[in-house]
Amino acid sequence: MASRISELIIPCQDPNRLAAFWREVLDFVLLDTEDDGSVEIGPREGFGGLQPTLVFSPTTEPKTGPLRMHFDVNATDRDQDEELDRLLKLGARPADVGQTGEESWHVLADPEGNEFCLLRTRLS
Q: Dihedral (C-alpha) 59, 6, 97, 66: value to the nearest 10 degrees?
A: 30
Whether 1-62 and 64-124 share one fold: the answer is no
Dump pLDDT digits (tens) for 50-95.
899 999 999 998 888 777 889 999 999 999 999 999 999 999 999 9
- Global pTM value: 0.91
Amino acid at 3: S
- Please name the CATH architecture into which domain 1-62 falls: Roll (3.10)
Across residues 97-116, what is the average pLDDT?
A: 94
Judge contact between 26 and 92, C-beta under 8 A. no
Residue 41 pLDDT > 80: yes
Options 2.40.128, 3.40.190, 3.40.50, 3.30.720; CATH for 64-124 is 3.30.720
The helix/strand/coil state of 40 is strand
Domain residue ranges of the chain, discontinuous segments joined by +:
1-62, 64-124
